[in-house]
Amino acid sequence: MTPLPRTILDRIGNTSLVALRHILPANGARILLKLESENPTGSMKDRMALAMIEAAEADGRLKPGGTVVEYTGGSTGVSLSLVCAVKGYPLDIVTSDAFSQEKLDHMQLLGATLHIVESDSGRMTEKLTKDMIEQASIIAEAKGSFWTDQMRNRDQLAAYHRMADEIWEQTAGWIDGFVQSVGTAASLRGITERLRHHRDAIKTVAVEPAESAVLSGGPSGAHKIDGIGAGYVVPLWQEKTADEIERVSTEDAMAMAFRLAREEGLFAGTSTGANVVAALRLAEKLGPSSTIVTVMCDTGMKYLKTFGARLTADKHS
């Protein structure tokens, strides 16, 4: 008999890898999607939240009875809320009205205390990111909290090394390209590092919002792809990690998220839509015998109100 998990945290990781059946490149290349929606909160961020907290527990930065603080667009906050609820740590989350209400509600339901920083008309900008970071720093100093500081925290890389090992095993090493959108850059960096440990020739593509394409030399701008595109070059970003950088617009990312739901039955957020757009582009470059892996970063259930508003607008356009 398979042993029962001790807590819900034991259900993090070991997610499925599935092939797209209908949304395919014209040349017949294969695109595989890592279903991170299978994690307990429906997001890949469960992996990194657990890794950051456990590393801090192990080296004494987070002691019994301690408190935790983080700034986040939502998914990291939800994941930290889950981990802290299970482990019993009070959590302060600095976030914004720019992010989905579903994520904010989820964090509160898991016990987090929210501190809302107002955005520029609901858009993600460099100023918003830096305002949230400043507020988290103030709270951490005032309360003596452990600040996970996801933009700089290297402890999360180990979680993505494990995710890369899962991908390698699930593909039996049959992988030519890997595509991932850039938020903190930790998932792209950690997964690529480990995949290249197995096979150095794997081509990696980083994805960023076309409206704020700072990694590829463009100006900082505003966009509405949750969880990616901080508006500046983030500390964990390394140019050598990615062979290419693809720019994907908010419009194209959302359109692909809708296609994934309607044509594949895969209900995901806009960052996943951006990943699949970029994966299709890479597949055309690598040829018909290639296999490209990308990530379903989270479930579309986190964006029901956002997507619902879009559907309503489309009906009246």
Q: What angle do CA 60, 129, 112 make, to 5 degrees?
A: 50
d(CA 172, CA 200): 15
What pLDDT was estimated at residue 3?
74
Domains present along the chain, CATH in parentheses: 8-38+163-311 (3.40.50.1100), 45-147 (3.40.50.1100)
Most distant CA pair in the chain: distance in Å? 57
Question: What pTM, to 2 d.p., does this model score?
Answer: 0.93
List alpha helices for the chain, DSSP H. Answer: 45-59, 75-87, 101-109, 126-143, 157-171, 186-198, 250-259, 270-286, 304-315
How crowded is residue 14: how many other Cβ atoms within 10 Å of its Cβ?
A: 11
**For residue 272, which of 283, 256, 284 has the smallest C-alpha distance?**
256
d(CA 251, CA 273): 10
d(CA 69, CA 34): 29
Per-residue pLDDT of the chain (317 residues; tens, 9 = 90+): 667 789 999 999 999 999 999 999 999 999 999 999 999 999 999 999 999 999 999 999 999 999 999 998 778 999 999 999 999 999 999 999 988 888 899 999 999 999 999 988 888 788 998 999 999 999 999 999 999 999 999 999 999 999 999 999 999 999 999 999 999 999 999 999 999 999 999 999 999 999 999 999 999 999 989 889 989 999 999 999 999 999 999 999 999 999 999 999 999 999 999 999 999 999 999 999 999 999 999 999 988 887 877 777 777 76
Tokens linked to 21: 């059946």
Cβ proximity of 296 and 34 under 8 Å:
yes
What is the sign of the dihedral through the CA atoms of 296, 297, 303 and 308?
Answer: negative
d(CA 242, CA 10): 31
Burial of 70 (0-12, 13-18, 19+ CB in 10 A): buried
What pLDDT was estimated at residue 5?
80
Q: What angle do CA 175, 176, 182 make, to 5 degrees?
A: 95
What pLDDT was estimated at residue 1?
64
What pLDDT was estimated at residue 249?
97
Tokens linked to 72: 């986040």
Tokens linked to 110: 């898991």
Amino acid at residue number 182: V
What pLDDT was estimated at residue 273?
98
Burial of 61 (0-12, 13-18, 19+ CB in 10 A): middle
What pLDDT was estimated at residue 177?
98
What distances in angstroms separate CA 279 from CA 23, 282, 291, 308, 314, one per listed residue? 11, 5, 10, 26, 26
**Catalytic machinery residues:** 45, 271
d(CA 278, CA 204): 11
- DSSP 3-state helix, strand, coil percentages of the chain (rounded to 5)? 45, 20, 35
Cβ proximity of 225 and 246 under 8 Å:
no
